[in-house]
Every structure is written in C-alpha cells, then in structure tokens.
Structure 1
C-alpha cells in the first residue's frame, strides 16, 4: 500500500506540473492577443491586468485537467458508449461549478465593459457561473477530447508492448524446444529407431536421418 501510494504521488505532481505549464503558456498567448485587440479598439487596458485575468482562468482549467484525465483513464467512452458519453456530457455541470468557484477564489472577477476588477461577491460568482458558459464548455470539451486521445495512445502503446513480449516468448519457447531435441536421451531413442528401420525400411530410415540432420543444423545455428 505504501509503495503504491509513493508511485501515485510523483505522477500527481508531474501531471499537475504539465497541466499548469501548458495552460499558463496558453494564457500568455491569449492575453497578448487580447491586448492587441483591445488596443485596436482604443480601450484603456493594461497588459498586466490581462495576464492576470487569463492566467487565473487557465490556471483554473489546469487545476481541473488531471482529474478529468484520471476519470477518462478509468472510464473511457469505448466501454459503454451511450452511457459514458451521457456521463461526460453531464460532467460539464460540476466542471463549470468548480471552474466558477476556483476562478472566484483566485482573483476578483474582471469586468470587460469597464476593464476593471469587480467585487468578489456572490453576485459576481453567479455571473461567473452563467456568464462564461460558452468559453467553459469549449474548455471542458477540449480537455475531455485530449484525455481520450491520450488514453487511446497509451492503450496502443501497451498493446504493442504486449505483442512484442508475446513474440519474444514464442521465440524463446521454440528455441527451448529445439534445444530439447538435442538432449542425449532423445538422440539415443531417435538413433535406436533409425537403426531398427534400416533393416526393415531403408527409405523411411533415410528420411529420418535427413530430418534429424536438418533439425540439428537449425538448432546449432540458434544456440
């Protein structure tokens, strides 16, 4: 139990580190793009504020990304397609609620109409909940699709490893079978049978000798 827990902790740290690094990189790109767009509209916006706004938004997504990957790894859509697809569709509701709460806790809501920070109130929390429906839905779908793509990739890699291990096991079994044919008792019984056939059926005895010599050559080349 202790060893299993110790193996899960580094993976958890790694997954969150990757998620945070990826989504914060996206936040910088989006903030820079929005800054240029706001400048074209001659709005009094500061790049620092946009970096904070989109940094908080995508940091929230980064916090919610690893749990979705774990759920998809445990229950992919490939199992029960209709039921699990419906489950992931309904999963948007807790995702959107968690997104609104985490985003509300990280920074006060940002008012785009006034390009300023709003008060951290329950009213603004509900505004975050229903005011960002489309954006959060796209983010949720992108995470779910990415999680399934990663799960399929890992599954394919595991199948390839299993096929290689099976081929190696079969080759090892064939090699052991060929080596067993060189065992002294086996050779003695074969030679005794050939010596008996020489007196009664020389054609069959010659065929056995040729087969025996061919197998011995193959076995010696594999050893």
Structure 2
C-alpha cells in the first residue's frame, strides 16, 4: 500500500517510519526540556503525546498537498493570492488540533474541552508551521517535477530539431544530384541516344533503390556501396573508357553504420573536378578500413587538384559542405572530413566517423 503525495508515491511502511522519527525527536525534545525544569513524566507518555500530534499530520499531509496543487504559491509573490493558502493553513491546523484532542480523550482522563485547550496552547504555533512546511515541500517537489518535464521537452525538441536539420541536409542532395544527372542525359541526347537511354534506366534503378534502402538517417556501408555502384554505372555510361573505378573494402566494415547517400556527393565532386573539367582519364578509388574506434572511408581521384587555401571549400560546392554538416550533426567532433593532395596528382577526401555495427541482414555489394 502506498501513500500519494502529489505525483510521488511512498510506501506506507516508509511513510509511517518517517513520521515516527519526527515524533521520536519531538518526544525526546519535550522530555529533555521538562527534565531541565525539574518535572517530568515517563518518556513513554511524551512518546504517546508526540505520536498523536505527528501521526495526525501524517494523515492530513496528502490533503495539504492536494490543497497546494489547487492553490499554488507563485513567484513573484502576490499578496492577493496568499489569502486562500493562509485560510487553508488555519483550517488544516484547526482540524489537526481537533483530531489530536479527540484522540487524546481516549488515552487521557480529562475531557475534550481540556484536551482542546491543551492542544491549542501547546501545538497551535507548531501546527501552523508544520502546515506551511508541507506547503513548501509540495511546491518544491512540484517545481522539481516541472523542471524535469521542461528539460525532457527541451531534449525532445532538440532531438527533433536535429533530425529535421539532418532531413533537410539529406534532401538537399537529391535535387542537386538529379539536376546534374539530368543535365548529363540532356547533353548525351544530342551525342549518343542509346547511352542517354541507358543512363535514364540506371537513374530509375538508383532512385528505386534509394527509396527502398534509405528510410532512416543511417544505413550499412554495404547498402551505401550498392547505391554508389548504381550511381557509378551512370557515370561510366557518360564517360565510357575515360573513367575507371576501384573499391577496396575491409570485410569488417561492411556492416558499419554510415549516413545514407554520404559517398555519392563525394564521388560526384571527384568526377566533376577531375575528368569533368580536365582532359584524359581518371580512376576513382573508394577504400574503407577500421582505425581503432573509428571507421575511415577515403575517396580518391587522380585527375584533379586542390584549390589554393581559402578557396578549396567553395570549389567543392554543396557536396562537401553538406557532408561536413551531416557528420557534425550525427557524430559531433567524432565526424570529420579532410581533403589531401596526392602525389604526383590527385585529391583524397577522407571521412572519419564512429565505428558502429548494424546487426541485420544486408544485400550483397554490387561489384564496381
């Protein structure tokens, strides 16, 4: 059986025990005071009187808490709002004194009138202070619960905001990628109709796979490579023998969690700033490996250069900035993006994120 104080429930045994400690303390205090004055009764008498007084308040405390809920004391204090709690405290104190006097008539030889005078004279001030102390405790508990509720709501709102930001960042990539791909198809329509049709079919397969696989913010690296291979198929159709792709994947990284569609904009940048702007051939390499508690993914190309310091980020456009923001939102400081020059020519984009395994059945990776 539990006692309910506001939204808090306390076991009956614990509740009575706490009030028993209060009764014991006040009984001992009364006994020592009278001993100093030179006239005392047996300690069991003090304990009986104290128990009647404080267990009466134990019975009334839930009612005091309910009154505190209905008539809260707000900050800043307004005198016009204090009259109801003041009247309630006077009424509750009077009720406690009356109950105590009634119970005492069972154990004491004097009548109700005498016991009432005794209780009013000895316990009225203490009772009033006790009632207000219970009011204060109820208000403090309610304030703590309200603070915890608001903190929970703030945490939930922050989480929802972070998810919204991630969703916006992810959806930014889809029209950006579609625009570039459709532009390439439109260009091929005047040069190679069959290749343009093939690109349209591959684009349809990529979009279908993306809708099926990318329901959440993260997928496995194996699923990401399936989507990437469909995208690379479009680019191989466009650039034909000029583009070569190689993928080196450590087996223990295939089931690692990565942000969905994280590699496509990086590879798109590598192609765009490589053979998309320069003559000759290019080789796009994708490598994944575990480095301690981190998953490292590198995308390398051999036919581009980094812009001078201060302009490299602008040169890589929405893809790189979007990737930085997504990794920062998902992993904080554990998500990093680095660009490095390769010798004798080329650029490597290195992604570093926490090594987290997703346990579920995954489709096979399509060979590049």
Alignment TM-score, normalising by the size of structure 1:
0.72
Paired residues in the alignment total 200
Query: Which residue, out of 5, 17, 24, partners 1:21?
Result: 17
- Counterpart in the other structure of 2:142: 151
Change in Cα spacing, 1:63 to 1:84, as seen in structure 2 (3 Å) is farther
1:69-108 counterparts in 2 under 5 A? 69-78=65-74, 81-108=78-105
How has the CA–CA distance of structure 1 residues 97 and 44 changed in structure 2, closer, same or farther, with 3 Å as cutoff? closer
SS at match of 1:12: strand
Give a deviation string over 1:54-85, Cα, whole Å, max 9, x none.
01101111111122222222331218833331
2:308 paired residue number:
none
Which ranges of structure 2 fall in alignment gaps of 5 or more residues?
A: 187-271, 278-312, 332-368
* CA spacing shift, 1:124–1:194, aligned 2, 3 Å: farther
Aligned residue for 2:105, secondary structure, equals coil
**Preserved contact between residue 71 and residue 84 of structure 2 (Cα < 8 Å):** no
Task: Return structure 1 stretches of 4+ with deviation > 4 angstroms.
Answer: 190-196, 206-209
The more displaced of 127-136 and 153-162 is 127-136
Is residue 187 of structure 1 aligned with residue 184 of structure 2? no
Q: How far apart, in 2, do the equivalents of 1:11 and 1:23 lie? A: 13
| Structure-to-structure mapping, 1:119-158, within 5 angstroms | 119=110, 121-124=111-114, 126-128=116-118, 130-131=120-121, 132-158=123-149
Identify which of 57, 74, 78 aligns with 1:61: 57
Q: Could you say if the C-alpha distance between residues 57 and 207 of structure 1 is closer, same or farther in structure 2, counting changes exceeding 3 Å? A: same
Deviation at 1:10, TM superposition (A): 5.0
| CA deviation after TM superposition for structure 1 residue 28, in Å | 0.6
Alignment of 1:35-54 (within 5 A): 35-54=31-50
The 8 Å contact of residues 60 and 102 in structure 1, kept in 2 or not, is answered as yes
Structure-2 separation of matches of 1:32 and 1:167: 53
Alignment partner of 1:166 is 2:163: no
Q: CA deviation at 1:16?
A: 7.5
Greater strand content: 2
Q: Tell me what 1:4 maps to.
A: none
How far apart, in 2, do the equivalents of 1:191 and 1:83 lie? Answer: 71
Greater length-normalized contact order (CA 8 Å, ≥ 6 residues apart): 1
Render the CA deviation track for 1:126-154: whole Å, top value 9, x for unaligned.
Answer: 42564232222222222222222222222
User: What is the SS of the residue equivalent to 1:77?
Assistant: coil
Distance 1:154 1:87 in 2: 23
Give the TM-score normalised by the residue count of structure 2: 0.46
Q: Larger radius of gyration, structure 1 or 2?
A: 2
1:162–1:151 CA distance, 2 compared to 1 (3 A): same
User: Cα distance 1:191–1:128, how it changes in 2: closer, same or farther (>3 A)?
Assistant: farther
User: Is the contact made by 2:101 and 2:116 (CA closer than 8 Å) also made in structure 1?
Assistant: no
- Tell me the alpha carbon deviations over residues 2-28 of structure 1, each in whole angstroms, 9 at most, x when there is no partner: xxxxxxx95628357365333221111
